[in-house]
Each structure stands twice: as C-alpha cells, then as structure tokens.
Chain A
Amino acid sequence: GAGVSQSPSNKVTEKGKDVELRCDPISGHTALYWYRQRLGQGLEFLIYFQGNSAPDKSGLPSDRFSAERTGESVSTLTIQRTQQEDSAVYLCASSSYMRTEAFFGQGTRLTVV
C-alpha cells in the first residue's frame, strides 16, 4: 500500500512480557516518528529518526523503551518488561525530505493486562 503501515493493529500482552511494534513508512520517506496516546491523554512524542542521523530519543519514557530503524526502511519499537501504564495507542508517522506533511499509520493499540 501507499500509506504508513503498522502491525499488529492490536496487541494484548501480560505484564512483564516484551513486545515489539512495527512500522513500515511510506517508501522514500526519510523521517520517521513514534508517538503514543494513552486513553484520554494527548499525543506524546517518543522518538524521531531522520535518515542516517542519530535519532532523537528524548521522548522515550524509560530504558525499557527502545527503537531501531535501518536506513529509511522499517522501524521497530520494543518495550521490555511491559507495565500496565504502557497501555496506549502507539502511532508511527513518516515524512519526506520536502516535509510538506507527516503521514500517520493507523496505530497499534497495546493493552497490558
């Protein structure tokens, strides 16, 4: 497809387990963002990748969170030892070098039980 694709769309996991969320950006988009939105809360920045530059990790809430991106391709967000407060919708967005707008995926709804 032509849009940003995220998988899985829904994930239920037990507290303490690790989860991996995937984002396929639009082909050719150099920038990739991860955000999360907890229930009833606003959009919370997590991490930003731009090409081969060092990522901006300033939004990651703890060292249990990490993300990788190889070049301008797929990104994975990993949450280790999940906690109930990690329950949220995790959104990925990508934008081109021209940066006219960022395109969002549908999000992954993570529920930690």
Chain B
Amino acid sequence: DQQVKQNSPSLSVQEGRISILNCDYTNSMFDYFLWYKKYPAEGPTFLISISSIKDKNEDGRFTVFLNKSAKHLSLHIVPSQPGDSAVYFCAADTGNQFYFGTGTSLTVIP
C-alpha cells in the first residue's frame, strides 16, 4: 500500500513560470516531510524539508507547503529554470522509517 503518492508522473513548465509539484499521503503519523531531486545517472539528493508543526518552509526559489488536514504536500519552484528539470520525489517520516513517493518528472522549457 503506497502511503505517499505522487499522482502526476510528469509536468512541463515554461522557464520563468511557477512549477507546482504535488504529493498526498495517507498516514497521519507522518511528522516530517522531505523533497528530493534526481538527475539522470545520479542518486536522489535532498532539496527541502518541513516539520509537521509548520505549514510552510522556504529556501530561495523553493517553498514547501504542508496541509495536514488534507494530508497534502506541495513543492513550489519560482521562477523555474531549465536546470530544475529533474525527477522530484516527496518523502515522509513516521519517526521510524522514510516512505518515498514514486516521483514526478519536471521539464522546464527554455
């Protein structure tokens, strides 16, 4: 049973516009959430995280939003750049184990 879901396998966005990547989860015990970025032929690398006590965390062009009542997480990238083209994974932590989504492939069109 997939506890962390990324329902959009792919997303295309024009350079300079906002990219919004979505993630839904089912386990209310998750208390920490993360986003990872993966380029081809490389392992995923950590991008940004948020604790369940917050609803927003910002780091430069990247902002993660958490809606606990909806069990929904999103990553906003603004402005989007061609170098942001990658696969993005969301992950959630119960305090015992990380659970990863299946990923969304983002293409930023120059």
Contacts and interface: CB of A to CB of B under 8 A. Distances in A.
B42 interface: yes
B6 A104 contact: no
Contacts of B44: 43, 91, 93, 104
Interface residues of A, number: 25
B97 A56 contact: yes
Majority-rule SS of A interface residues: strand
Contact of B43 (A41, A91, A101): A91
Nearest to B104: A42
A106 B49 contact: no
Interface residues of B, number: 24
Nearest to A101: B46
Contacts of B91: 102
Given A42-B9, A43-B89, A43-B103, A102 B98 contact: yes
A107 B101 contact: no
A101 B6 contact: no
Interface string A23-57: 00000000101010100011111001010000010
Interface in A60-113: 91, 93, 95, 99-107
A105 B38 CA distance: 11
Contacts of B102: 41-44
Which of B9, B44, B99, B103: most chain A CB closer than 10 A? B44
Interface in B58-110: 89, 91, 93, 95-103
Interface of A: 4, 31, 33, 35, 37, 41-45, 48, 50, 56, 91, 93, 95, 99-107
15 contacts: A4-B43, A42-B103, A43-B89, A43-B100, A43-B101, A43-B102, A45-B100, A48-B97, A50-B97, A93-B98, A99-B32, A104-B36, A105-B43, A106-B42, A107-B42
